[in-house]
Amino acid sequence: MATPPGSQDRSSGARVARSSAVIRELILNAARQCFAEGGLAGTTTRQIAARADVVENLIFKHFGTKSRLFDEAVVEPFQRAIDKFIVQWTSRSSGPHSGEVTARDYIESVYDLLEGHAELLFALMKDRRQEKPLLPLLQELERVAAYETGAQGWTGVDIVVLTRLQFAVVAFSAAFDESLYPSGARRPSRDRIITEMAAFFVHGTAHRPQ
């Protein structure tokens, strides 16, 4: 049986060579777990290296600094998720589209990112740097929310607050899905959860169309 990448050959005690891509992924995965536990300031590169089972110098070789590693491990996945949604929305916004479709695209993008990966959210929330990496992403979402509410003729909406409320609801629901819903036959499907959330975002609870 072949020895898995990154493990030792027990017959010789020698480490099997690992590709650069495998090493990067090991470091990124270990960093997410460590940052979720200790935050950026409270995590050392030595801790990350130990969890990834690599020598510490490889962290600096692949990522340069601990801050850059944090950005690639934690911030960039959020950026990719929001970028995916923005591309979908841009392709539809010039033509007829419903608020539910826009909301669903957004919710699914965040669910794809955070479902089963609460460590990403923990790590982001523990970032104590003065410049918060989440803010530029939320500002991109503000632009979408402002356009959509304007198209619907809704006035008096605080876009800044609305955007953050929606992100908080989706992110928490996706990250802690298993804790929020019962298992087995009583558990609603992911599609049911997303459909209800999209309807809630657009219509609230008391003003849904019949």
pLDDT in tens, 67-95: 999 999 999 999 999 999 999 999 887 77
Q: What angle do CA 106, 109, 111 make, to 5 degrees?
A: 110
Confidence of residue 53 (pLDDT cuts 50, 70, 90): very high
Residue range 1-64 in CATH 1.10.10.60: yes
Same fold, 1-64 and 74-203: no
pLDDT attached to residue 64: 97
Q: How far apart are CA 19 and CA 174, in angstroms?
A: 32
pLDDT attached to residue 210: 58
Q: Is the pLDDT of residue 9 over 70?
A: no
Q: How far apart are CA 127 and CA 69, in angstroms?
A: 13
pLDDT attached to residue 24: 97
Q: Over the chain, what is the mean pLDDT?
A: 89
Please give the model's pTM, rounded to 2 decimal places.
0.84
Confidence of residue 128 (pLDDT cuts 50, 70, 90): confident
pLDDT attached to residue 1: 36
Handedness of CA 197, 202, 206, 210 (dihedral sign): negative
Instruction: Tell me which of 1.20.950, 1.10.3470, 3.30.70, 1.10.357 is the CATH number of domain 74-203.
Output: 1.10.357
Scanning 39-75, the segments in alpha helix (DSSP H) are 45-52, 57-63, 66-70
| Residue 8: strand, helix, or coil | strand
Query: CA 31: distance to chain centroid?
Result: 15
pLDDT attached to residue 14: 56
Confidence of residue 15 (pLDDT cuts 50, 70, 90): low
pLDDT attached to residue 164: 96
For the chain, domain boundaries: 1-64, 74-203
